[in-house]
Amino acid sequence: MNIFEALRESHDRQRTYADALIQTSGDTPERVEAYKQLKSELQAHETAEERHFYIPLMEFDNGVDLSRHAIAEHHEMDEMMEELDETEMSSPAWLATAKKLAEKVHHHLKEEEQKFFQQAGKLLDDQQKETLAGQYLKEFKAQLA
């Protein structure tokens, strides 16, 4: 497995969880569970992806800007999750922020898969892609635990 395949597995889960989240209503067990799933997946993925994909890409001149951009978007998603944590789950403001978060997740994943992966694919050799996948998956599992 290479790093792109490893990242895509989490991306698919993120899309599913983000879509499920905005289908929920009020302060219900469904919403609590959907948010918990999305939040833990995003946080584990962001940390592992930054350490074992974006930081290694920063060693290349052509990898710096795309890495900074992606990490900045991770930060925006973290801020939205902090906002959700501080907002009453039954309030309209909570759903509005959740929708913004879901949109950002979809935008970010699309940009990574359609743009960043292609650029990164030219910078990393096959060995690096496999090594990073192993490191990423190990870190991701550790973060989830």
pLDDT digits (tens, 9 = 90+) for 26-76: 999 999 999 999 999 999 999 999 999 999 999 999 999 999 999 999 999
| pLDDT band for position 24 (cuts 50, 70, 90) | very high
Q: What does the DSSP 8-state code read for residue 89?
A: T
Q: For residues 93-116, give the mean pLDDT.
A: 97
Domains assigned to the chain: 3-144 (1.20.120.520)
Helices (H), the chain: 3-21, 29-49, 55-57, 61-86, 92-111, 117-123, 126-144
Q: For residues 91-96, give the mean pLDDT.
A: 95
pLDDT score for 58: 97
Burial class (CB in 10 A: 0-12, 13-18, 19+), 29: exposed
Q: Name the average pLDDT for the chain.
A: 97
